[in-house]
Amino acid sequence: MTAPLFNRRHFNASALALAGGGFGMAALAAKARKLLVLGDSLSAEYGLPRGTGWVALLQKQLDQSHPGTVIVNASISGETTSGGRSRLPALLQQHQPTHVIIELGGNDALRGLSLAMTGDNLNFMAKAAKAAGAKVLLLGMQMPPNYGPEVTRQFAALFPATARATGAALVPFFLKGVGDDADPLRWFQADRIHPNEAAQPRLLANVWPELKKQLQ
């Protein structure tokens, strides 16, 4: 009679352990992080060996600091804020990210597109991502100085204005330490537009402090 009783107790204990493990797995699943990066050539490894861009470096960083975090890099070379705006709803539905990093606006500036349109697109994307339940990190950009100081100022102001209006986190200048370096040419490819491989850790260093806050 004692053996069956022992087996029954053993079964009950095992069942409880499995149930607890199930709850633990569910809790881990609930905490799983998925980052969607919506950017242009600066995030799409343009002109770089595969796996050396700042997004790939970020994945390696997350593998160490936040295991299980997955990055979906939906960046496309040449992308504008209008292109990002049109693609974002489907990306949110498909990937259901917990975090969205928006790195767009540089091509708007290079093409001389409407500042009002760029600002409207940035606001739309930040609000759409937040409405989908994601935390949003906006990477600020600056316009080349040849457009004149006033236009340059207005463009740079779009990013903090969007952050204030939407509650998104902000990296004030994504290319800090690269585009504003005393000798910036050493950080750029031959086209003088795209950061080289040596610059990628600097770009990550600009993003990481703000992103780390959102991951806690």
Q: What are the pLDDT digits (tens) for 79-94?
A: 999 999 999 999 999 9
Catalytic position from the list 41, 43, 75, 82? 41
Looking at residue 75, its amino acid is S
DSSP state of 75: -
- Which of 163, 196, 162, 164 lies closest to 181, judged by CA? 196
Given a cut of 90, whether residue 117 has pLDDT beyond it is yes
- Whether 191 is catalytic is yes
**Active-site choice (40, 75, 108, 194):** 194
The secondary structure of 45-96, three-state, reads: CCCCCCCCCHHHHHHHHHHHHCCCCEEEECCCCCCCHHHHHHHHHHHHHHHC
194 tagged catalytic: yes
Q: Distance (Å, rounded) from C-alpha 197 to C-alpha 204?
A: 12
The answer, yes or no, to whether residue 184 has pLDDT greater than 70, is: yes
User: How much of the chain, in percent, has pLDDT values that exceed 70?
Assistant: 86
Distance CA 133, CA 93 (A): 11
95 is catalytic: no
**pTM for the full model?**
0.86
Give the alpha-carbon dihedral of 91, 93, 95, 96, to 10 degrees.
120
